[in-house]
Structure formats: structure tokens, C-alpha cells
Structure 1
Amino acid sequence: MLRFNQSENVHITAEQSYQGLVERVLLSTLIGMPCCLFLFINGTMLFTLRSKSVFCETSRYVLLYNLLFADTVLLALSQLMYILAVCRIRLTYPVCGVFAMLTNFTNVISPLTLVVMSLERYVSVCYPLRHATIITIRNTGVAICVVWIFSLLNVLIRICLLLNFIFEELQSLQMTDSCSDIAMILGPLSDLYDRIYTYFVFILASVAITSSYVGVMVAARSASTDKASAQKARNTLLLHLVQLGLSLLSTMHTSIVISLSTILQRLVIVRIKNVFYVFIFILPRCLCSLIYGLRDQTIRPALMYHLCGQLKLSCPSKGCDPSNNSE
């Protein structure tokens, strides 16, 4: 009877292990395929934004390139860390720290760039006569540099907090869990800083974008304002608010997972993290290409041309010829 119970337990354990392996393979396939597709589309979009002089000489397209570049790098890093987690490859703390800091660096660039893009739309509607003198390529470059420096300072502070952690108390620098942002929050100071910085950035971004939206709404009622331009700017700012909300979720997911881990089992947490990865990391990083690639009358023909060329599809001449654009 004892032997029968032992054999049955071994069979159940093997079956559970097989089911876990099948689940990991299916999830990694279902998640990896759309991620690779979006990386391809984002890469094509980045190439498109450097294919014509109008994209390099217009401030909003330069800002869009900066936003898309940060989102693409973050998506690639997230997918790499996801593959490492699925394959159960354990990194050392220093290597994982490099990945985590790069992720934090690119993750902060997105909301700050959305703020600058919103202010650009506000100036274009509320001060159309001064737009050309205020929103120049030089000023746009300065704004992008400020965004990157602000993000870099955040990374440097996080590194200083990590250096204060007593790594000598660890038995080994080899990690016992998968590499992630959560795994690199070592100590209460890192956790406190992460919360304060997240709240500060997104409160600032929310106030800036909402104020720009209200300003555009007020300007739209003026008789001297171009109604069509104001309507487009208002829709763009609404999209920026949606993007900001999704970015906020992607930044706050660490706190959410930590809170849920205290009341839920590990397997449930792993499944929740997979759902978060799809809807909080992958989806927001592809929205930028889809929204601007389909809405903008200048980008869409050029984007379709390069997509059709790379995919070797037979496209209608009107949709694939970048010269057929109407601004």
C-alpha cells in the first residue's frame, strides 16, 4: 500500500511538471509571436521616421521618434528578460542589475516625452503664430536631452541605493529567482524611492497633459482658432492620456505584484505576471506605431511602403507609394 501511494505521488508530480512545461511553452509562444511582430513594426516605423527629410526637420516627428525608440528598446529588454524567466535561467545580481537599470531608464523616457509632445500640441493650437519660433528643432533637441538626463539621474540614484545594500550577507551573487525589476528592489529604501519617484513623475505628467488638453478646449471655442486643428490636437492629447495611463500601469506593476504576492500563491502570481506582461508591457509599446502610423497622413504612406517592401507583399500603388501623401 505504501509503495502504491509513493508511485501515485511520483506520477502526480510528473504529470504536474509536464503540465507546467506545456503551459510555459504555450504561453511563451503566444506571447513571443506578437512581441516579435510589434518589434518588427516598431523597427520599420523607426526606419520610416528617418527615411524622409520632413520627419527629421519637424519637431513632433522628432519627438515621436524619441518616444518610439524608448518604447522599442523597453519592449526588447522586457522580451529578453521574459525569455530568461521562461527558460529559468538565473543571472547574477550585477548582470540583472544592468538589465533592470536599462529597463527603468527607458520606461521613464516615455511619460516625459509624452509631456513634451502635449506641450507642443498646446503651443501649435493656442499660439499658432509663435509656434515656429518656440518649437524649433534646436529647442526640441534640448527638451529631449533634458528628458534623457532626468531619466539618467533616476538610474544613478537607484544604483547608489543598490550599492548601499549589504551584498556580503548573501551566500552567493547568483540569483535564486528570475531577473526582474522586483528582484532588484533590495531593501526598504529602494522600495520607498521607487514609489515616490513613480508617483512624482506621473502626477507631473498627468497635470501637464490635462492642462494642455483644457487649454486646447478653451482655445477651440475662440473664433480665431482653426477648428480642425484644435479637434486633431484634442484627440491627440486624449490619446496621450491613454498612453500615460498604460505607462503608469507598467511602472506601478511592481508595487501591484508585491502586494498580491502576500495573499496569493506563487503559481497564481506567475500567471498574473504573464497577463500584466501582455496588457501592460506589450500593448502600450505597440500603440505608438499603430496610432501614429494609421492616423498621420504623412507617416502612413511611407510606413505602408516600407512594410510592403520588407514583407514583399503586392500593395496597391496608392497605398505603398510614399509620394502619395497628403499633409
Structure 2
Amino acid sequence: HLVLILCMFLYINSVLLFTLRSKSVFCETSRYILLYNLLFADTVYLISSSLLYLLAAFRIKLTFYMCSVVILPPVLVYSVSPLTLTVMSLERFVAICYPLRHAVIITIRSTGVAITLVWLSSSLNIIIRVLMLLCSNTEFSFDLQMKDFCSEEALFRVPMYYYFVTAYSGIVFLSAGVTIICSYIGVTLVARSASTNKASARKASQTLLLHLFQLGLILISTFHSNIITAAATIMERSHVLRLHSLSFIFLNILPRCLSTFIYGFRDQTIRPFLIQHLCCQLK
């Protein structure tokens, strides 16, 4: 059942990625360019984390080198999603609160710069983690066989690693959460004025609330391993495995698939093309 769910979500995400590159309007609008970046990062994370889950489910152990190859993609794109959600929230804030200046502030060039900064921040996170791993293990060899299943905790066994991850995640999610909340408050206040488009403002505020909910789920997913570890001390193995599957679906898969439903099926421009491509262009 889990494999079917994964395949279904991957298919929908892949179709939406294709849809966002099938029309020039999607390639030339900052809002949809940011959505493509978010969806691409979510899809990479979904594929990588699903591969890790299947490796653990089939009890396949890797070398440190192979594990690092599998681990680095989800670690890289992990912070891309909350940072992109932050930029998308700012874009909605500018669109509603400063509609006359939106075309000047939110351009293709500024959107590209924002996306580049998002990926540079995530890449810096990876570089620091790898340097911590190499500098703290002088006798570390990537050719060694791992004793545990491939996971982030099993690969990065560095004393300072936990503190760095906690600090980095705290900064990312706190800044993203504050930005989305402030954007929501700004849009809500503007929606009460008589001079604004109330329908657009209402839809933007709903989108920002969904962004905040999505961000919260991604934040909770960081405690996935802690939840399973704590449950293993008080529950039987069969219940722990069932809890692991459920938590993997709701904490790892669901947050990475909300973008499709928030934008793909709610956006009046994307929806007809998405449905057409989902149905293989059958009318």
C-alpha cells in the first residue's frame, strides 16, 4: 500500500512539473517559477526519502560512500522547501499589498536571484555538515560497511552535528514562520480596505495559511526519528513498525505533496492543463 501511495504522489508531482514547463505563461511568471522550484525540491526529497525507507524495510545495508550518495540529496533539498515557501509568501504579500509595484519588484531576474540564494544556503548547509564529518573522523573511510541501516543519524555521528542541525533548522523555520505570519497579517489588513480586490486578497490569505500549515508539517517531520526512537522503548516491535509507516506517510510524504493541491488544483490557470495531462490528454 505504501509503494502505491508513493507512486501516486510521484506521478502527480511529475505531471505538475511537466505542466509548469509546457506553457510559456508558467515559464515567464515569477509565481509559477517559484512553484516549480518548490515542487522540484519536494519531488527530489520524496524520491530520496522513499529510497531510504525501502532500504531499511528490506534490511539492505550500504557502505558509507553509497549511504552518503543517497543521504545528500534529501539533506540538500530539505531546507529548500521552507525557504521557497518564504519567498512565495513575500511574493503574495507584494502582489496584494503593493499591486502597482508588483511588476517592478517581482521580476524574472529577482526571482532567479532569490532561488539562487535559496540553493546556495542549502548547499552551504551541506558543505558544513560534510566538513564536520571529515574533520572529526580522521580514520573515517567511505569504503567501510555500515553497521546500521543508512540514515542521516547513522552517517553523521558527530558530537557537534546535533547542535548545528538544531541551530540551522531553528533559524530556517523561525524566519520562515515569522515571514509567513507577517505576510498573512499584512494581507488580512489590506483585505479589509475598500480599494482592494477582496476575492484575490481572501485567496492569498488562504494560501498563506496553507503555507504555514505545510511549514508546520515539515518542521514536525524533523522529529520523525525521535518519535520512533521514543516509541521503541514503550511499544512492541510490530506496533513500532506500523507507527513508522504511518509517521513516514503523514510527516515525510504528505508535507511534500501539499504543493500540488495548494497550487495545482486551486489555481484556475494550472488546473485545466494539469487535469488534461493527468488524464493523458484524453477529453
Q: Normalising TM by the smaller chain, what interval? A: over 0.9
- Say whether the 8 Å CA contact 1:181–1:254 is kept in structure 2: no
Deviation, 1:255, is 4.0
Match among 244, 267, 282 for residue 296 of structure 1: 267
How far apart are 1:269 and its partner, in Å? Answer: 4.3
Is 2:111 the counterpart of 1:140?
Answer: yes
The alignment status of 1:184 with 2:194, answered yes or no, reads no
Asked if residue 279 in structure 1 is aligned to residue 250 in structure 2, the reply is yes
SS of the residue corresponding to residue 258 of structure 2 reads helix
Mapped contact 2:231–2:240 kept (Cα < 8 A)? yes
CA-to-partner distance for each residue in 1:29-69, whole Å, 9 max, x for gaps?
A: x1111101111111000000000000001110000000000
* Structure 1 residue 165, shift from structure 2 partner: 3.2
1:1-327 to 2 correspondence within 5 Å? 30-166=1-137, 168=139, 173-260=144-231, 268-309=239-280, 314-315=282-283
Deviations 1:296-319 (A, max 9, x none): 000000011111116xxx53xxxx
Distance 2:200 2:81 in 1: 25
Moved more, 77-86 or 298-307: 77-86
> Deviation at 1:271?
3.6
2:225 is matched by which residue type in structure 1? Answer: T
Mapped to 2, the partners of 1:138 and 1:306 lie a distance apart of: 29
| CA spacing shift, 1:304–1:169, aligned 2, 3 Å | closer
Larger radius of gyration: 1
What's the Cα RMSD here?
A: 1.9
Q: Distance in 2 between matches of 1:264 and 1:185?
A: 27
1:91-131 per-position Cα deviation (integer Å, ceiling 9, x unaligned): 01122122222111111100000000000000001000000
Equivalent residue letter for 1:225: T
Alignment deviations for residues 208-245 of structure 1 (CA, whole Å, 9 cap, x no partner):
10010011111112222211111111011011001101
Structure with greater contact order relative to length (CA < 8 Å, sep ≥ 6): 2
Contact map agreement 1:107 1:251 (CA 8 A) in 2:
no
SS of residue paired to 2:146: coil
Q: Give the Cα–Cα distance (whole angstroms) in 2 for the partners of residues 69 and 59 of structure 1.
A: 15
Give the C-alpha shift of residue 259 in structure 1.
4.8
Which amino acid is 2:9 matched to? F
Change in 2 beyond 3 A, CA 1:308/1:187: same
Q: What's the secondary structure of 2:136's corresponding residue?
A: coil
Provide the C-alpha distance between the structure 2 equivalents of 1:88 and 1:54, rounded to a whole number of angstroms: 46
User: Which deviates more, 244-253 or 42-51?
Assistant: 244-253
Instruction: Decide whether the 8 Å contact of 2:134 with 2:140 is kept in 1.
Output: no
Aligned residues: 282
Query: For 1:176, what is the secondary structure of its paired residue?
Result: coil
Alignment partners' CA distance in 2, 1:249 and 1:111: 13
Q: Structure 1 CA distance, aligned partners of 2:120 and 2:38?
A: 15
Deviation larger for 80-89 or 207-216: 80-89
Change in Cα spacing, 1:169 to 1:263, as seen in structure 2 (3 Å) is farther
1:185-217 CA distances to partner (integer Å, 9 max, x unpaired)? 302211111111111111111001001001111
Distance 1:37 1:105, change over 3 A: same
Change (3 A) 1:141 1:185: same
Separation in structure 1 between the aligned mates of residue 239 and residue 199 of structure 2, nearest angstrom? 49
User: TM-score, with normalisation over the residues of structure 1?
Assistant: 0.81
For residue 309 of structure 1, what is the amino acid of its counterpart?
C
